Structure formats: C-alpha cells, structure tokens
Structure 1
C-alpha cells in the first residue's frame, strides 16, 4: 500500500498545493476587501504588508515539503495555479478590467519566486535523500 501511495504522490502534488495556496489566499487576503483612506486623501490597500508576508510564510512549508521530496515542479506549478486562481476570483469584480494585469503579475511573480525557492530547496536537500538509500 505504501509503494502505491508513493507512486501516486507526484500526481497529487500539483492539485494539493493548488488547494493549499487557494486556501492560504482566502485565509490571509480574502477577508480584507476595503481600501484604507489616509488623512491626506490617498488610499492604500486593500492588503497590508503583514498579510502578504503571512501568506508567503504559510506557503513556504508546503513548498519546502514538496521540493525536498523531489517534487519541485509540482511545488512550482501547484502554488502558481492556486495563487493565480485565487487572485482571479478575488479581483474579477473590478469594473475597470485592469484586474487581469494584477492576475498576470501574481502568476509571473509566484512562478518565478516559487521556482527559485524550490530550486534552492531541492539542491540543498538533494544529498539528504541520496544518503538514505
């Protein structure tokens, strides 16, 4: 049974990490939908820096788990798909139509950042798994 689960694991990494990323977005960013008006009349938000930092730190754990087990591609694709879908859903009610630029930015940024982090994690943990065999 364990061998069967191990063979199935690479196929589950992408959907599981996409679901984790989507859930993390909802937990950290999904509840804050209003912009803050500053005393000078300018607006900020709707997200505070601590919310985005919390999202990134939350996603580091599943990305580390997948990349350290030689599923770096799944970590990159799953996280990118989850964040892109979440951004699209969250921002699609924007009447200006510019939300697609933001969604594209989230997609490219999460793809690049997750690829770099996964590459570093995969190289740093490569020897750990080779010694176990």
Structure 2
C-alpha cells in the first residue's frame, strides 16, 4: 500500500528535477554565453540579451513543459521550470554589485510561476481525454 502511494510522488519529484535541469541547460544555451552590454549613443546601456534570445528560450521551453503537462506532471512542469529559471537567473545576475538583481530574479520567479501554471493547466486540460 505504501509503495503504491509513493510512486506518484516520486514521479512528480523526478519530473521537477528533470525540468529544472533542462531549463538551466536551455538558459545556458540561449542566454549564458552573451554577457556584454551594448552602449547606446545617448550613453545608456542595453542588454545583455537580445529579444530573439528570450523568444528562443521561451519557445524551446514549451516542449518540455508540454511533455510534462500532457503526462499530468503539472507540478513538475510548473515548479521545475520556475526553479530552473530562478536558479539560472540568480547565478547569471548575482555579480551585480548594486544588489538590484534580486528584484529581477524575483520577477523571473513570479512570472515563470504564473505563465507555466497557466500554460500547464491548459495543456493538461486539453490532453486529458487523449
């Protein structure tokens, strides 16, 4: 009886860890290599990421989120992706001496939690009968 109850919990935990690992790897592939800021003519700096990199990361993350949510590992899709994006953002931005990177990391955490929650719920409800 106990083993039967632990199996779904273990699968959810493994899906969280797998999605977190995939998310960190995708962050590194799309955003990890570009660390330079671009100086504008008015003296401001933009970057280090281009719009196409963010779009590529989001579109690429849809595949593992779809995989997990369609197999009803919604917690894995939501928490794994959020954990991976938050950890990667913290690691990537923590060299900021002002300390304001924590606000950005918090926004990444909340935004990814909300968006992956909605996307995963839609995917799980659409694929319920399949």
TM exceeds 0.5?
yes
Closer/same/farther in 2, CA of residues 120 and 44 from structure 1, 3 Å limit:
same
CA-CA distance at 1:6 after TM superposition: 8.1
What secondary structure sits across from 1:29 in the alignment? helix
For residues 25 and 15 of structure 1, the distance between their equivalents in structure 2, rounded to whole angstroms, comes to 15
User: RMSD over aligned Cα, in angstroms?
Assistant: 1.5
What secondary structure sits across from 2:33 in the alignment? coil
Matched, 1:74 2:81: no
For residues 128 and 37 of structure 2, the distance between their equivalents in structure 1, rounded to whole angstroms, comes to 44
| Structure 1 stretches of 4+ moved >6 Å | none
Question: Which of 25, 39, 54 is equivalent to 2:27?
Answer: 25
What is the aligned partner in structure 2 of residue 116 from structure 1?
A: 118
What is the aligned partner in structure 1 of residue 4 from structure 2?
A: none
CA-CA distance at 1:62 after TM superposition: 0.3
CA-CA distance at 1:73 after TM superposition: 1.3
Q: How many residues align?
A: 124
Matched, 1:104 2:109: no
What is the aligned partner in structure 2 of residue 84 from structure 1?
A: 86
Unmatched tracts of structure 2, length 5 or more: 1-6
For residues 6 and 77 of structure 1, the distance between their equivalents in structure 2, rounded to whole angstroms, comes to 16
Question: Which of 51, 58, 61 is equivalent to 1:59?
Answer: 61
State the Cα deviation string for residues 10-39 of structure 1 (Å, max 9, x = none).
331000000001011111011111111123
User: TM-score by structure 1 length?
Assistant: 0.88
Unmatched tracts of structure 1, length 5 or more: 129-133
What is the aligned partner in structure 1 of residue 3 from structure 2?
A: none
User: TM-score by structure 2 length?
Assistant: 0.90
What secondary structure sits across from 2:109 in the alignment? helix
The answer to whether the Cα contact below 8 Å between 2:12 and 2:75 also exists between their aligned partners in 1 is no
